[in-house]
Amino acid sequence: MDQDWVQEPKGSFKHPALIGTIRAAYFSNNHSIGYRYVDRFLSSIPAKPDEKEIPIPLLALSLTGVGSFCDFNLVTNEFQLYSCLYEFRGGQKEDLDFDGATFRTVNQTLTNILEKLKRDRPLEFHERLHDIFNLVV
């Protein structure tokens, strides 16, 4: 088995594709939406108010889109975020738009998983989302 694919559990949200996507989409410069609202990012642990976390909706949407980077647009120099597995669901690549109707269930499932982690293992949840915050901001 390729060692690059073995992930320790607490690092599973630190994949470079995910971190790069969050940075590019929300924190690419001082005027990006993430920086404009960073003061609204909170900690889920009251005793650690200065340890901000990436919000669940932002992380779930990013995880939904990252499924894989399937295409790089050489004209705009932007990654097109598609789910490769979904594009190949019929055995051949099909072009599709990354839209809410197609990926709503995936996003909701990821949101539910993150909410469950927050509820069942609050310290682990906090550490993971705070680590991501530190990696992207």
Residue 4 has pLDDT above 60, yes or no: no
**How many domains, the chain?**
1
119 found inside a domain: yes
Could you report the per-residue pLDDT of 15-62, keeping only the tens digit for each? 787 888 899 999 999 999 999 999 999 999 999 999 999 999 999 888
Q: Which domain holds residue 39?
A: 10-136
Q: Which amino acid, one-letter code, is at 14?
A: K
Which residues are within 8 A (CB) of 122 and not within 5 positions of it... i.e. 6 or more apart? 44, 45
Confidence of residue 76 (pLDDT cuts 50, 70, 90): very low
Q: What is the pTM of this model?
A: 0.72
In a domain, 3, yes or no: no
Determine, yes or no, domain membership for 125: yes
Across the chain, mean pLDDT equals: 77
Structure tokens at 111: 């949101």
pLDDT tens for 90-131 read 666 666 666 667 678 878 888 888 898 899 999 999 999 999
Residue 109 resides in a domain: yes
Q: How far apart are CA 25 and CA 65, in angstroms?
A: 11
Distance from C-alpha of 38 to C-alpha of 58, rounded to nearest angstrom? 12
- Asked whether residue 19 is domain-assigned, the answer is yes
